[in-house]
Amino acid sequence: MKFYSFQIVIEKEAEDEGYFAYTANVPGCFSNGKSIEEARRNIRQAVEQHLASMLAHAEPILQDDRLVHVEELTVAVPE
């Protein structure tokens, strides 16, 4: 078994209560969920299925070694 690592992005849906999840490293692979946890589970399943299809079609699976860490940063700006 080979392991792959991907950075995922989970964003609040603009027009409903849910969350949208995707990874830039697997174009066309995205999912959503009613909560962040559900979106995280769903994008994991979507990536697994997408990679299985890519492997079945002998497509390369690219890894992005540039991105090391992602976090939210909050700053205060004087008014």
Q: Enumerate domains of the chain plus CATH numbers.
A: 1-79 (3.30.160.250)
How much is the pLDDT for 66?
A: 65
| % pLDDT > 70, the chain | 91
How much is the pLDDT for 25?
A: 84
3-state secondary structure of 33: strand
- Tell me the mean pLDDT in the region 10-21: 92
Residue 59: pLDDT band with limits 50, 70, 90: very high
- Residue 5 clears pLDDT 70, i.e. is over it: yes
Sole residue written with tokens 């994991």: 44
3-state secondary structure of 36: helix
Q: What is the pTM of this model?
A: 0.78
Query: How far apart (Å, rounded) are the C-alpha atoms in residues 66 and 52?
Result: 24
The secondary structure element, H or E, covering residue 19 is strand 19-22
Pairing verdict, β 30-33 and 19-22: antiparallel
Taking the CB of residue 22, how many other CB atoms lie within 10 A of it? 21
- Residue 58 clears pLDDT 80, i.e. is over it: yes
